[in-house]
Structure formats: structure tokens, C-alpha cells
Structure 1
Amino acid sequence: IAFHPGEERFEVSNPAIAKDVAWIANVAAIFDPDADLIELIEQYVARNPGVNRKTVGQVLQRLGKIINNHVGLIELAEDLDIETVTEIFIRVNSAGTELSQADFAMSKIAVNETFGGNILRKAIDYFCRLAVAPEFYSRIEKADKVFAQSEFLPKMRWLKDVNDDLYDPTYTDMLRVAFTSEFGRGRLQDLVALLSGRNFETKQYEEAIAEEAFGKLKQGILAFISKTHFDRITMILRSSGFLTSDLLRGRNAVNFTYVLYLRGRRDGLPADDIERMVRRWYAMSILTRRYSGSPETTFDFDIRQIDAQGVQVYTHSTIENELPPSFWTGMLPQVMDTSSSTSPYFIAYQAAQARLGDKGFLSTNITVRDLLLNRGDKHHVFPRKYLQRQGLTRGRYNQVANFVIAQSEINIAIGDQAPGQYFSELVEQVCGGARRYGGITDEATLRANLAENCVPKAVLDGELLDYGDFLAERRRLMAQKIRRWFEVLSS
């Protein structure tokens, strides 16, 4: 833990803090019984000539006295059920950071040395840290000799050479995936109960059940951190069109998709079948917002149905029921009436364009995939300032059906011109006129580009220039694009 005397603030130490002389990178030095506080103050002042020595001294003296503070204790009756204990644990810190079932589960894991929970807790924490900061590996190797000698560190060594932020899991993500895939349950409060030895039939607590639960959770975590498994699930998602973390926003959908992958592997399904199942399920999940309401309840329902029916039978029937033909022609165009650029429907549309290899709006060679990987512009087909002049509000001019993915130079060239004007100039451009917008010089290529970007071809004929009519038609075309993408994912 690091400490900033000037701000009197604690932080978890990191490489940036370690290099910043304004921080004491490790407060343990203050509490060392052999520490010379005066010497520590002099060293700090020498590194920070602009600080007030007296103020620094007073702050560090107060810091050193923390060890004299009394810590409040809440004693709980030993016969309390685990649900009550969990609720107390969560509520006791309600004035600070809100705690969750995952927090309680992590605490439960950490304090159990009998069944290796203390090492398992570190494995979860370290994997999450390494996924974000691969350089942290060397610090673990040097500073935590006990963990370095465990079976976990060698199995996550591969992370030290990886710089991929598509899916950086949190400890909650890891617990959800490991628990659901191994235990066939979806509620983390059940994990807490099982780690405590709860027998759900007799309502008693048995050490054998706790031991079994820690063993199964360990297997789930080992499966999660496997390079083969982690690489495979991220590859499947990326190959579906979800190229960046910005496009992978449905975290609970990702987690359950990982559960499906692990179940498919465990059941010995062919790799092609697993990939197809995983792609289709994730796409269905985000399009129907399956895990956005009560994710634990849905996790629990889905995994129990998988156990009862089999993973392939259940996923296939669920997808067919959730995405009937009427979804693509009726429901999807309706829900795309939104101005949220992070809506799952617009994200699915971008993934569809990336997967199908579409060119950027009015681009000859640059693809949507290229633009998404390089943070290409979202361009308004009906320019924002043009619509503002018409009196439209933000919620109207920022409709996702008014967005296309375009090169910045094309976006700049169009500016705030009326769509009727720049589309008529595009017609002139492909008939031998000046090239104002991109490099397309023939009508067939222009019409193909508009089709790829779901821009109604009628705009080239000076039609469909009423903004409301344009949005309605483009939503229909975008829904068709997403449907075609889903069919490709299913092939």
C-alpha cells in the first residue's frame, strides 16, 4: 500500500506510483519496529525539496499511530445461517463501497487455509491484475514466493506476454464463470453457502461439503485461466466481429458464453460445434438483453436447463424461440429507435459490418473493420449541424440509424451540408465530375457501398430525404444486415 503525505491518501502501489517521489511506495517502512521516523522524514524531504518538513513530519507521525487505533468488532452468533451472515457482511459497509455476494465469497475463500482458499484467492486476484498489467508478473514471482511455487502461477505465466484488453475479467467475472460451469448453479450466494459446508437438503453444515466445494471451485478457476480456453473464447468473440472492448459491453453475456464454451469442452463436443454454439448464443444474448435484468436468476435458470436437456439441445431451442422471423422484421427495427451509440443493437450492427467485411461509408479500400480497430469516425448521414438548424434535438439527430462508420477525411469533407446536396454531388462524382467524397468513381461501386452501409439507394435519386422516412427505412435495412450476420455466425 502506498501513501501520499501531501494528500494524506492511500493507494494500491503500482509502477507509476513507485516512480513518483511524492509517494511513499510502501507504508510498511513506517511501521517497521526498527524504523527511524526522523530518518524517513529526512529522506522524503530530500526527495521532495518543495515540501514543508514540519508538515511531513506531523503527517507521518499520525500515520505511524494508526496501529494504536481500535478496530470495531461485530460478534455474530455461531448458529446464524449463512444468508444472514452474508447480509450483515454486505450491509455493514453500506456507508462505503457497496459490497456484493462476490466480495463475501472472496473473503470466504481467502480465510480458508485448510482447503487452500488463501492461495486460490491470490490466483483470482493475480489473474485479474495480470490481464490488465502483464508487467506485474515479475513482482509476483519475486515478492510472493509461496504463490510462485503453487500450481497456479505457471498456468498464468502466458499472460506476461499478452497485451490484449478485449476481455479483462474482474474477480466477479471469474467467480461467476467458474462457479456456474462447475456447480451447475448461478447464484453466488449458493457458492458462499457451499464453501461454508451447507447441505441444502439437511440444512446442516458439513466439512466434507466445504472441502468438495473448494475443490470444484479450484477446478473451475484452473479451467478459466487456461491459455487454451481463454485464447479460444476471445478468438471466437473477435472473429464474430466484436473486435475491441468497446464492442464487448455485455459482460454478463460474455461470462455465460464462456460457461457454454467450458461446458461444451467438458462434454466433448467438436470444436466447430462449440464455436457455432458460442457465437450464436452471445449474439442472441446481446440482441435480447438476456442478462441485463437479473443476471444471477437467468444464469441459474439457463445452467439448470442445460444440465436437464443438454447444452446443444437447450441452446438451439432457446435461440429459435428468442429470435423468430418476426424478431428481425418487427421487433429489431423498433428497438433500434434509439440515440444510444452503446445500445446492443448498434454494437451488433457494427460487429456485423466488421464480420461481413463491409467497406467504410464512401471508402474504396478501407473496411469497417479497419476503422473500428483504429477508432474511425461515426458520421451522421444527415449532418448534425444541418439537423440542428432544422430544430431537432440531440435525441433525434443522434439516432443510431443516422450513424455510419466513415474515415475522418470523408466526414470532414461532408461537413454540415444538406444530404440532398452532397448526394447529388456524389452522383456527379461517379459520372466523371470532381472527386469530393472519397475515391469512388463509378455508380455500381457507389450503390454497392451504400448497400453495405444500409443507406437507402433512393437518396441518390433525390428521394427519401425526409429525415423520419430515412430513419425508418434505414432501421429496416440495418436489421436485415444484423440478420444476415447472424445467419453467417450460424453457418
Structure 2
Amino acid sequence: MPEIQRPFVWDSIKVRDLIDSIFRGFPIGYIITSVDPTLIQKDGTKADGKTSIIDGQQRITALRASILGEEVINKYYKPVRIKIAYNPFADTDAGENSFETLTPAIEKSSKWITDISKVLSGSRSEVNSIIEQFAQNNPDRSKEEIDDRIEKLESLKDQEIGYIKLLSNQLSIDEVADIFERINSKGVPLNQADFAMSKLASDKEHGSSVRKLIDYFAHLAKEPEYFKHIEANDTDFKESGLLSKIAWLKDDRGDVYDPNFSDIIRTSFTYSFGRGKLADLVSLLSGRNFEARIYEAQIAQDTIKQFNSAVLDFVDKSSYTDFLQIIESTGFIDSKMIGSKNALNYAYVVYLLMKRDNANPSILKKTVARWFVMSVLTSRYSSSPESAIDRDVKEIARSGVDEYLRKIEDSDISQQFWDTALVNDFDKASQQHPYLNTFFAAQVYFGDTGFLSDVTLRSIRSIKGDIHHTFPYDYLKKNGKPDRYDYNQIANFVYMEKSTNIQISNKKPSEYMATVIEQAKSGELHPRHPIGNITNFEMLTTNLEQNCIPDGFENMSVDDFEDYLLARRKLMTKKIEKYYKSL
């Protein structure tokens, strides 16, 4: 089996349960491997294809740890032993377990053999020594009884485990995935990125190191503090020089783009190979020659090298941080504002392509920013993302990024889109809709303040604000609008400070705006029940304009709600249009 040095995610209890299930003859699911087609070497000779683990890595690792006594890599990337103890005379009828994770108490008990790997993997003389020691510690048990129970433990090695070998020359990648899902419907669904990682792990010469690079980058992007564990425990990776390539992540605290291993694989592959479907990467890693329809060892080797280079481009500090600055410059300043990771992934593809082509930095920034916002606003990669990405990267190769973006803008976000389609599409109820997030990004971009506040939206998002209703939902529910679709309309949401929302409570606009207007007139906040913190009319007028609040809002009640929504939708779309065209 190919080695996969990913952190072992099972706890010791789960390992114990696995051993107990095998011991008692219970099914533990199938181990599934995929065998690459026969490869044609440079000299024309043939070689067997590599074997990759498709499903069962955790079970295999658990068995190797408990039966062979091998170390596993824990979540801190530290090699550790998992020892499973065996009680030969456990009273299972009384609820005692035959197997337990080794604890100090069990280690001191004469009833337990403290490590089953000593029996299952030890020499005959070592096993006899264990039996003799156990007999001395348990004089009430006869030698025959002990031998019988130890023999029963040793029979665990002869238990059959379901094993399926899938031959890639007989089944397509999609068919393999379908088989997996049917067999393992209760497990984690397999995807093409898992296949790719398995293929990388099976290439020990080159693939193992890049697989670790992908895994570690994804982990550190979310949890920078784990750097010290990787540095301390994976000396091979450190000595390879690859750890230094991602060491900068230990000081990174941003969360706008924290890619997982699948994101890194997809983005690197699309950027470097000009393809959007990960099944193609799996095929290339297997050595497939798409034109000749054969499998060649040289193609597999070249793919690994090209992919390694692409991943290094992905994790490059200069590229990655520059890309994040571009995204944040659009007003999307945290991950909660970005519902589609694919929009980020493909925007990074565009960035890497333009950087590789030595694009003018100012043009690169403008193009990447517009591409990203266009993708979010139009939900470009929300449906059949692989097909959309494959189409885009191939069209970019033909006509260039700038020309292709202009084509998309002419067809998908024309003036008709801004004037009519977007206004109509705003008739939706969601706090996380791309339209609403784009509107908030526009406010951040323009430096707007939160609703009835003198604090910028950027600051409110980072410290003490949230999304709230201009017409309070409790007020609407009590006045004939009980449906979530009504009170959670996109056009009913603003960003405001938490204290302001508490002050508004369930008051209708005409009621709470009376206090706001009085504060603007007097130049002072209400002594007992202030609302917001605006104390002059110029600031109030500007604030309402920034938040796209229609004229007459200060006089509105539930009877005006539908007209208010339509008017605000138009104002919000105009703001988004101005924002996009200014990028």
C-alpha cells in the first residue's frame, strides 16, 4: 500500500472499536484501491500501473498502528504510538471489554496484555515470554486457558476484510466515484480532489512532498499556530526546503481566503494545465495521453513536475498576499462576505495567469478585481462549476483575459442587467445572498458608515456590528407580514451597530426616525433613549444616502413597506453599478 502521511484523525477509542469488530467477526466496510492502467515506458516496454488507496486509509492506518505497532502522525504532526490492550478473560456478559486503549491503570493491572502488537507482530519467543509473564501474574488461570485465549487473539490476523481493486483501464474515474458512493453511502463522499491526492501519495519520488505542501498550506492558512508542530515533527519536509516556502503563514491572520486542499489542487491545476475538470488531472497523473488514448510513464512524470511547479506558484507569499490585497481592495474584507470559494479560486487562477504573462500590475489589479466581483455578483461558479471553469480557462487561452472579460460584461452584465434584471432579482429573502454581500462590499469600498452611525462599515464589521432590519421583523410580523420571505427581503437589511439595533427594538421607521431627526435638530443625543449617534442633518442626509434609504423613510409604516422595498432595490443596484464600474 502507498504511504499517506496525513494526520491520523481517528481517536484511540475508534481504533479499539475497529479491533474489537474484527475480533468478533463484524464487517468493517471495504478497503478500495484503484490500479492505474499499464504504463508504456520511453523504450516501449510496459510497467504495471501504480496502486492508490481510494477508501480505507484510516482503517489501514489504525490496523498498522495497533497490530504492527507503527507510529501514526497526530493532529500536531507528531509521531505517536496507539497501544491497544487485551483482556483475555474479560466478562463480556458483565459489560467488560476485551480491548481497551492503554491507560496507566490498565498498564498496572495483571488482567491485561498491554500491547496487542507484541503478540500479533512479535516473534514466537516474544509471544511465549508474554504468555509466561501473564501466567505468573494470573496464577488462577491454567496454561491451557491462557494459550487458548492468546490463540484466539492471534486468529485476528486471519480475519477477512472486504477488498475491492478497481482497474482504471476498465472503469472511468466517474464510474469509480459512483461505485465508491454506492458502497460507502454512509461515509464521506469521494471527490476528484481525493483521487488526485491519492495519486500524488502513490508517487513517492515526487508526489509525496507536494502532497504534504498542499496539506500543510491548507492547515496553516486556517491555524497558523500549527507551524511549530510541523517544524518540530516533520524533519524530512523541513530539510526538503519546502517548509520555508510556507513559513510566512505562521504570521498570517487574515481569513478572506483560507483554501482547503481541494481548492489548492483545483486552482493550481486549472492555472497550469488550462483545464477545469479534476478528472483530467487524475488521468494525467495516471499517465494518460489524451490524443493517442494510451498511458505513458513519461506523461505521469511530466505531470507531477508541472503540477509541483504550479503548487509552488500558488503558495508563493508575494503572489498570495498580493492577490488577497486585491480582493480586500474590492470591499470583500472577510470570508463571511464570500459565499462562493470557487469565485476566489478562479480569481486566483486569473491572477496567476496574468502574472505569468507579465501583465502590467495596475491592469492586473483592475482585471482580477472586476473578474472576482463579476463572479460573485452573477454566481458564475455556483452551478456546474467545473464546466464553467473549464470553459473560462479555455476561452482565456484563446482570446486573453481582458478581451474575454469584456465579452462577459457585454453579455451578462449589460446596461439592461443594471437597469432591470438586477432590480427584479433583488426580490429575494436572504442575509447571505451574493447581491447583499456585494452591496456591503460596495459600502466598504466607498468608505460608507453603518446605518445611523458615524462608524465606517469596515470598522463595524470587524468589531461590533451585524446585519439588521430597517423595518424590524417583529414589527412586521405583528402587522400582517409574518412570512420570512417578507421581513428578510434583501432590501430590508442594513449593517448597523448592535447598540443601535437594540435601541430601535421593534419600532416602526416613523417612530424611531422621529428620535433620530430630533437628535439631528438639537445637536445632542436623546438623554435616555438615543438611537444611533448622528447629531446633525448633514451627517444624517449623507448616512441615509450611503445606505440607499429612500426619501420619505422617516414617515413610513407597514403600509409603505412594499413601495419602500422597490425604491430601495433600485437605489442599491445603482450603487452596485457605480461600484463595479469604478473598480
TM-score, structure 2 length as denominator? 0.74
Shift of 1:250: 1.2
Write the distance in 1 (CA, Å) between the matches of 2:557 and 2:99. 81
CA distance in 1, matches of 2:113, 2:255: 43
Q: CA RMSD in A?
A: 3.1
SS in 1 for 2:442: helix
The match for 1:227 among 297, 303, 317 is 317
Pair 1:406-2:414 in alignment? no
Q: Secondary structure at the match of 2:164?
A: coil
* Aligned twin of 2:301: 211
Call closer, same or farther: CA 1:375–1:221 in 2, change over 3 Å. Answer: farther
The equivalent residue for 1:323 is 413
Q: 2: CA distance between counterparts of 1:223 and 1:44?
A: 52
1:440 CA drift (Å) = 2.1
Choose 156-165 or 261-270, whichever is displaced more: 156-165
- Distance verdict in 2 for CA 1:445–1:75, change over 3 Å: closer
Task: Write out per-residue CA displacement over residues 327-366 of structure 1, whole angstroms, 9 at most, x where no aligned residue.
Answer: 11211122221121111000101111111100111112x1
Q: 1:106 and 2:197 equivalent?
A: yes
Hey, what's the Cα distance between the residues in 2 that align with 1:124 and 1:453? 42
Per the TM alignment, residue 61 of structure 1 is displaced from its structure 2 partner at its CA by: 6.5
**Does the residue aligned with 1:350 lie in a helix, a strand or coil?**
helix
Candidates 12, 25, 28, aligned match of 2:82: 28
Q: Partner of 1:486 in structure 2?
A: 580
Alignment coverage as a number of residue pairs = 469
One-letter amino acid matched to 1:328:
W
Q: Of 448, 468, 476, which aligns to 1:358? A: 448
* The one of 91, 96, 104 aligned to 1:43: 104
Q: Note the C-alpha offset of 1:135.
A: 2.2
**Corresponding residue for residue 235 of structure 2:** 145
Cα separation, partners in 2 of 1:437 and 1:304, compared to 1, 3 Å: same
In structure 1, how many angstroms separate the alpha carbons of the residues matched to 2:374 and 2:457? 22
Q: 148-157 or 247-256: which moved more?
A: 148-157
- Aligned pairs for 1:228-377 (under 5 A) are 228-364=318-454, 366-377=455-466
Structure 1 residues 381 and 9: alpha-carbon distance in aligned structure 2, compared to 1, 3 A threshold: farther
Measure, in 2, the Cα distance between the counterparts of 1:189 and 1:112. Answer: 18
Q: CA deviation at 1:224?
A: 0.6
Which among 182, 187, 191 is matched to residue 96 of structure 1? 187
Q: Is the 8 A contact 1:464 1:470 kept in 2?
A: no
Corresponding residue of 1:477: 571
Alpha-carbon distance in 2 for matches of 1:288, 1:4: 47
Q: CA deviation at 1:235?
A: 1.1
Using structure 1 for the length normalisation, give the TM-score: 0.87
User: CA shift at 1:27, angstroms?
Assistant: 4.5
Q: Deviations over 1:73-114 (max 9, x none)?
A: 223457425535555456543341110111111111110124
Deviation larger for 329-338 or 438-447: 438-447
Deviation at 1:8, TM superposition (A): 6.2
Cα deviation, residue 164, structure 1? 2.0
Give the whole-Å Cα distance in 1 for the aligned partners of 2:392 and 2:467.
Answer: 36
Q: Does 1:446 align with 2:540?
A: yes
Aligned mates of 1:470, 1:78 — CA distance in 2: 60
Which residue in the other structure is 1:3 paired with?
11
AA of the residue aligned to 1:94: S
Report the 3-state secondary structure (helix = DSSP H, G, I; strand = E; otherwise coil) of the residue aligned with 2:494. strand
Question: AA paired with 1:401?
Answer: A
Of the structure 1 ranges 415-424 and 270-279, higher mean CA displacement relative to structure 2 is found in 415-424
Distance change >3 Å, CA 459–CA 112, structure 1 → 2: same
Structure 1 letter corresponding to 2:197? M
* Separation (CA, whole Å) in 1 of partners of 2:494 and 2:103: 60
Check whether the contact 1:447–1:457 (CA below 8 A) recurs between aligned residues. no
Consecutive unaligned residues in structure 2, runs of 5 or more:
1-7, 19-57, 59-72, 86-97, 121-152
CA distance in 1, matches of 2:555, 2:488: 24
CA distance in 2, matches of 1:324, 1:429: 43
**Is the CA contact 1:90–1:104 (under 8 Å) kept in the aligned structure 2?**
no
8 Å Cα contact 1:243/1:373 also seen in 2: no
Conservation of the 8 A alpha-carbon contact between 1:284 and 1:322: no
Could you tell which deviates more after superposition, 126-135 or 168-177? 126-135
Determine if contact 1:242/1:351 at 8 Å carries over to the other structure: yes
Find out whether 1:384 has 2:473 as its counterpart. Answer: yes
Partner of 2:507: 417
Rounded to whole Å, the distance in 2 between the matches of 1:38 and 1:102 is 36
> Relative to structure 1, is the Cα distance of residues 285 and 38 closer, same or farther in structure 2, using a 3 angstrom cutoff?
closer
What is the deviation of 1:311?
A: 1.9
Cα-to-partner distance string for 1:36-78 (whole Å, 9 max, x where unaligned): x99984516699xxxxx899x6998799978665432223457
Q: Secondary structure at the match of 2:163?
A: coil
Quick one: which amino acid aligns to residue 43 of structure 1? P
What is the CA distance between 1:484 and its match in structure 2?
A: 1.4
Decide whether aligned partners of structure 1 residues 434 and 203 sit closer, same or farther in structure 2, where only a CA change above 3 A counts. closer
Higher mean C-alpha deviation, range 2-11 or range 466-475? 2-11
Gaps of 5+ in 1: 19-24, 32-36, 48-52
Matched residues in 2 for 1:107 and 1:294: separation?
24
Q: Report what 1:34 is aligned to.
A: none
Deviation at 1:5, TM superposition (A): 4.1
User: Per-residue displacement from partner, 1:216-242 (whole Å, max 9, x unpaired)?
Assistant: 111110011101111111111111111
Q: Secondary structure at the match of 1:457?
A: coil
Q: CA deviation at 1:259?
A: 0.1
- Amino acid of the residue matched to residue 3 of structure 1? D
The structure-2 alpha-carbon separation of the partners of 1:59 and 1:166, relative to structure 1 and needing over 3 Å to count, comes to farther
Deviations 1:165-211 (A, max 9, x none): 22111111011110000000000000011111111111001111111
Deviates more, 1:145-154 or 1:74-83: 74-83
Higher relative strand content: 2
Cα distance, 1:428–1:302 mapped onto 2, change above 3 Å: same
1:161 equivalent to 2:251? Answer yes
